[in-house]
A and B are shown apart, each in its own frame.
Chain A
Amino acid sequence: MSEANDTFTGGSSIERESARSQSDLYRERLDRYVLTPFRVVWSDWRTRLGTLIILFYIFVGTVGVRLVDPPEVGGPRLAGIFEASGYPLGTNNLGESLMASLVHATPPMLKMILAGAVFATAIAVVLGTVSGYKGGTVDAVISTIVDIAMTIPGLPLIILIVVTFEPSSPYLIGIVLSINGWAGLARNIRSQVLELRDNSYVEASRIMGRSLSGIIFDDILPNIMPFVLISFVNTARAVIFGSVALYYLGILPVSFNNWGIMLNRAYSTGGAIYSWDSVYWVVLPMVTIVMLSFGLVLFSQGTERLFNPRIRARHAETIDDTTPMEK
C-alpha cells in the first residue's frame, strides 16, 4: 500500500525519513502491523470472541500440556463429570482422564489443522492469484493443473497415500488430508482475481509500473483475504472431520491422542449414545471440536474488516486518512 500511496505524497520520502528517529519508525511499524490489526479485531465482537477461543486452544496446546499430565490407564473406569476426585471431566473405560486426553490431543490436532489448512490455502492462493492475474499461457497451464487435481477423487487418493506411507507426524497427516483441498479453492480465487484485475485501482497500479508481487499483495489479496480465510477455516474443519473419518476406518495410525479417536471410542467401546450415564464421553470431544470450529468461523467472519484499508487506517494511530503509510 505504501508504495501505491507514495505517488500522492507531497515532498520526497527521503527528506521525511531523515527527519524521523529510528524509534519512531519502530513505533509506527508496531502500530501498523501489530496494534492496528489487534484494534480492528477487538472492535468486532465476532472476531474478538473467535480470537479468544483460538488463543485458548493455543494456550491449552502449549501451556496446558505442561500443566496436565498425560492420560494414564488405571484410574476409576467410566467416572462421570466431577464424580471422581482428580478427574474433573470424568474417565473413559480404560480409566484415562478425559480432561488429560482432551488437553493432550490439542497439540497434534492443532498441528494437523495448521499444516493442512496452510498447505491447501497457500497453494490455492499462489496458483489462483497468479493464474487469474497473469492470464494467457500461465493461466492455461495452471488451470490445467488445477483441473487435473480437481478430477482426482480425494478420499481414495488420501487413503492410498496414507496406506502406502503410513504418516505418523501430525503435520504430514494434516497435509495429506488436505492434499486435494486446494484445487477448488484455487479455482474460486482465480475467478475472483479475474474480476479484481480489471478494477480501476489495479489498472492504475499497472500503469504506474508496480511490480506483480506489489499489485497482488497490496491490491488483490486484501480483497480476497476474507474469502481466503473462510476457506482456510473450512479446510481446517475438513482436516478435523477427515481425520475423524479416517481414524474411524482404521486407516490412520493412532500414534497420538485425537478427539476423533475419542469420539469413536466413546461410540464403539463406550456405548455412549445408548445411555445418559456415559454421554459425557461423546459430548466432551464433540464440544471441543465444535468450539474450535466455531472460534475459527467467528474469527474469519470478522477478518473482512482486518483487510479493509479504510478501517485499518481508522484504527491506526500513526496514519491519518490523508497520510500515506510508510514502508
Chain B
Amino acid sequence: MTSSNHSSDDSSRASSGIDRRELMRRAGMAGAGAGMVSIAGCGGQNDDGTTTQGTTGSSDGSGGSGVADDSFANYVTANPTNWQFNHFNFTQPFSHPMQTDMLQRWVISTNEFSDYAVSIDEFDGQNERAVLSVRDGLTWHNGDPGDPVTGEDLMAWFVCHAAVNSTVAGLYNANDIEVTGDRQIELPLDGSVNESIFRQSLNNFWLNVPYHRYGEYVERFMDATSDEERNSVRTDLRSASFDEPFGNGPFKFVSRSSNRLRMELYEHHPDADQINFDYWDVIRASTDTASVVLGMAPEGDIDMVRNFTPPQSVLSQAKQNDGILTNQIPALWGQALPFNCGHEDFGNIRVRQAIAELIDRDLVSRNYGEFGVPVQAPSGLVGNINGQNEQTDRWTRWVTDEGEEQLHRYQNPERGRRLLREEGYTKQGGKWMRPDGTQLSMPIKVPSGYTDWHPIYQTISSLLTDEGIDSEVKMIDSTSYYPNHYLEGNYVTAATGWTLGRDNPWYTFGQWFRPLADKVYKMNFKPTEVEVPPVGEPDGELQSVDVLQLFQNVRNASEENLQEAITEFAWVANQFIPMLPILEINDTAWMTSDDWNWEPAKDDAAWQAKWPQWWFPRMGLMNGKSN
C-alpha cells in the first residue's frame, strides 16, 4: 500500500480521530503517493504504478545529457490524470518528494537529525518558544527562478497543520506564530515540550504549503473565533482540489498522461547541481508489484519501487538479477493485534494478557519472513530491528535499565492458561469455555488486500485454535476495513500497525491511549478507567492510573527526565495492552543499478534515512551512468 506523510501527520488526530496511515487507507489512497514517504509495512501494495509506455528520454534509450538514461522513474498504480494537487485532501492527492523538499533528514540507525528545508535555530522547550528558518536559496516553481520560499510560507505550514489537527499541531499555538524575518518565524509552544519530541514531530514532512496557494485558509483559521469556524476551515481545506501543481524541490512538474507524470530538473534548486539527469518520471504500471519489481531490470521502464515486502520466491528471483538493488530500512512500524476493549471477554485486561502469553511471537515473525522481528517487550517502544533485518535492543534506550527489566515479555503460555482459569474460563475437551458455557471465540479482522500481513494473523489464528480458542481470520475488503471496521471499533480483534512511523514512544502512547470524546475511539475504552498491576508485579492487584497525566509527564519532560517518564508510561502500556504489538518490520526499497550508480556501501548509514531514493540524488550519492 502506499502512504504518505506528505500531507498529514503521523499520529492520532484529535479532531477526526484518525491517524495518518489510517486516513490514507480510509481515503482509499493507493496511488497518488508516488512520492510520498512510506509508511512501513505496506508491502504488497505499496508504491503503485503501472507501465505501459517507455519513459527513457531518447529513442535510442539513452539520455540527452550524456547519461545512459536521462529519466529516473518511480512506480505508481494510479492514473496520474486523476490526481489533484492539494495534499490535505485525501481524494487522489499528488505531491512528490522530488517536487518539494523535506523539512529535515533523520538517520534512523544513528538518530542524527539534520536540517534540510527548515532549520531549528533556537529551541527552548521550558520557555515555550522555538525559532525556525527556511533554507536559503529555496524558491517555488512559479518562475525562472520562482518566488523565494519565505517565513510566511513556513507560518502557513504550521497554521494549516493546526487547521487539520495534525499531531504536531498539539505542540504549538498556531494563532500566535510570528513571522520574524524573510525566512524566519517564531513558534510559540503550547506548554513546555520535550525537544526530542518536537524534533521527531517534524519528521516525514515536506515544506509544501505555499502561502500564495493556502493563504485563504491561513487567514480564515487565524480569524476564527469559534470551534465551528475552525471546523469549517478544516472541512474546506480537506475538500479543496487544486488543478495546478506547485513545488520547491529539485524536480518541477512538466506534464502528465494516463500512464506517466513527468518532472524535469529545476536548476534553481540549491542541490540541482548534484543531479546529472534531466527527468523524474512517475510511471503507472501493473498492480502486481511483484511482477513490476522482477521486470525492472534490465529492460523495464521502472527504476524504483519505494517500498514492497515481497514473498520469499520473489525475493529469491530478484536476488538473481544483478540489475536490481534492495535495501531495508526500519519501518518504525509493525503489525499488532488491537483488542476491542469494550468486548465482554477482551475488555478484561487479564484475558488480553492471556492471549498475549499464548501467541508465540517468534513463530509469527518467522512466518512473516525475513523482514520482520518479534517485539521483545510489548509496550509501545520502537526499535527492535535494524537495517540488516536483525533484532536489536535500540528500543531499550527509551527506558531505564530497571524499567526495561521489569517490562513483561509475554512468553509464558502456562501463565496465559492460569490467567484464563482465574477469570472463570475452563478448558473442556480441548476447548476454552467461557463462564457461560460457550467457547471463547476470537475472530480477527484483516484487510484482504494487505497480503503481506496475512501470514501474521493466520499464524495467530492457528495458534489460538490449537490452544482451544475459536479463532478465525475474517478477511475484510481493504477499502472498507478501516472506515467501517477498525476505526468504528467494529471488531473483536483486528489488524493494524502499533506505531505511527515515528520512534519516540510519545507517539505510540498517543495512538494507544489518546482519548477522543472520552474514549480511545478505536479500541473502545476510557483512559480514565485504565487499571494496571503495580510496577514490577504483573500478577499484582490492579490499580487506577492517570493516563492523561502520564501523557503530560512525557511531553513536558526535560531530556534528563524523559527516560523515567517513558518508563512509567511503558509499564502501563505493557500491562494494559489495548493492542498487542507483534512484530517490528523493515521496509524494503527497490532500485535498478543497470543505468544508475548508488554510491554508498550497503552498510553505510546513509541508507538508513527515509528514503534513500529521495535523498541520494540531492546529496550527489546517486547519478546516472554515462553513455
> Interface residues, chain A, CB within 8 Å of chain B?
71-74, 77-78, 93-96, 247, 249-255, 265, 268-272, 274-275, 277-278
Contact = CB atoms under 8 A, between A and B. Distances in A.
Contact of B313 (A71, A252, A275): A275
Q: Which 8 A-B pairs have the closest CB atoms?
A: A250-B448, A271-B311, A275-B313, A250-B475, A268-B451, A271-B313, A271-B314, A73-B462
A51 B368 CA distance: 42
Contacts of A269: 311, 451-452, 454-455
A73 B363 contact: yes
Contacts, number: 86
Given A73-B363, A250-B476, 13 more contacts: A73-B463, A77-B312, A77-B366, A94-B462, A249-B448, A249-B477, A250-B447, A253-B472, A253-B475, A269-B452, A269-B454, A271-B314, A278-B311
Given A96-B462, A275-B313, A255 B290 contact: no
Contact of B317 (A94, A96, A275): A275
A269 B463 CA distance: 19
B472 A255 contact: yes
B369 A93 contact: yes
A73 B367 contact: yes
8 contacts: A73-B462, A250-B476, A253-B474, A268-B454, A269-B451, A271-B313, A274-B313, A275-B317
Interface of B: 44, 290-291, 294, 310-314, 316-317, 363, 366-367, 369, 447-449, 451-452, 454-455, 458-459, 462-463, 466, 472-478
Contacts of B294: 274
Contacts of B459: 73, 94
Contact of B474 (A77, A93, A254, A265): A254
B316 A277 contact: yes
A255 B470 CA distance: 10
B313 A254 contact: no
A94 B455 contact: yes
B477 A251 contact: yes
Nearest to B470: A255
A108 B316 CA distance: 35
Given A96-B462, A268-B454, A74 B363 contact: yes
A95 B311 CA distance: 14
Given A94-B458, A254-B472, A274 B314 contact: yes
A90 to B, nearest CB: 13
A274 B317 contact: yes
A37 B458 CA distance: 46
A277 B366 CA distance: 19
Contact of B312 (A72, A249, A268, A271): A271
Contact of B314 (A72, A73, A253, A275): A275
A71 B367 CA distance: 15
Contact of A270 (B313, B472, B478): B313
Given A250-B477, A254-B472, A265-B454, A272 B313 contact: yes
A96 B462 CA distance: 10
Contacts of B316: 275, 277
Nearest to B294: A274
A277 to B, nearest CB: 5
Nearest to A265: B454
Nearest to B446: A250
Contacts of B363: 73-74
B367 A95 contact: yes
Give the dominant DSSP class at B's interface.
helix
A278 B311 CA distance: 10
A275 B316 CA distance: 8
Given A73-B367, A251-B477, A271 B310 contact: yes
Interface centre among A94, A249, A251, A274 (most CB of B within 10 A): A274
Contacts of A251: 475, 477
Contacts of B474: 253-254
Given A253-B474, A269-B454, A269-B455, A274 B311 contact: yes
A72 B462 CA distance: 7
A283 B314 CA distance: 17
Interface centre among B311, B462, B473, B476 (most CB of A within 10 A): B311
Contacts of B317: 274-275
A278 B290 CA distance: 15
A93 B473 contact: no
Contacts of B458: 73, 94, 265
A271 B290 contact: yes
A73 B455 CA distance: 10
Nearest to A271: B311
A272 B466 CA distance: 27
Contacts of B451: 268-269
B290 A72 contact: no
B468 to A, nearest CB: 13
A43 to B, nearest CB: 47
Contacts of B291: 274
A251 B480 CA distance: 11
A274 B290 contact: yes
A81 to B, nearest CB: 15
A95 B459 CA distance: 10
B46 to A, nearest CB: 14
A317 B381 CA distance: 81
A270 B311 contact: yes
B476 to A, nearest CB: 6
A94 B367 contact: yes
B303 to A, nearest CB: 20
Contact of A278 (B313, B455, B472, B477): B313
Contacts of A95: 366-367
A265 B312 CA distance: 13
B364 to A, nearest CB: 9
A271 B312 CA distance: 7
B312 A278 contact: yes
A72 B455 CA distance: 13
A247 B472 CA distance: 14
Contacts of A247: 475
A268 B309 CA distance: 12
A94 B311 CA distance: 12
Contacts of A96: 462
A94 B449 CA distance: 18
A250 B458 CA distance: 14
B314 A93 contact: no
Contacts of B476: 250
Contacts of B472: 253-255
B294 to A, nearest CB: 6
Nearest to B447: A250
Contacts of B290: 271, 274
Contacts of A252: 475
Contacts of B314: 271, 274-275
A196 to B, nearest CB: 47
Nearest to A255: B472
A2 B462 CA distance: 57
Nearest to B476: A250
A166 to B, nearest CB: 8
Contact of B311 (A72, A93, A249): A93
Nearest to A254: B473
A85 to B, nearest CB: 19
A277 B462 contact: no
Contacts of A78: 312
Interface centre among A71, A254, A255 (most CB of B within 10 A): A254
A283 to B, nearest CB: 13
A266 to B, nearest CB: 9
B318 to A, nearest CB: 9
Nearest to A247: B475
A100 to B, nearest CB: 12
Contact of A254 (B44, B452, B463, B475): B475
A256 to B, nearest CB: 9
Nearest to B453: A269
Nearest to B474: A253
Contacts of B478: 250
B442 to A, nearest CB: 13
A205 to B, nearest CB: 54
Interface centre among A77, A249, A250, A255 (most CB of B within 10 A): A250
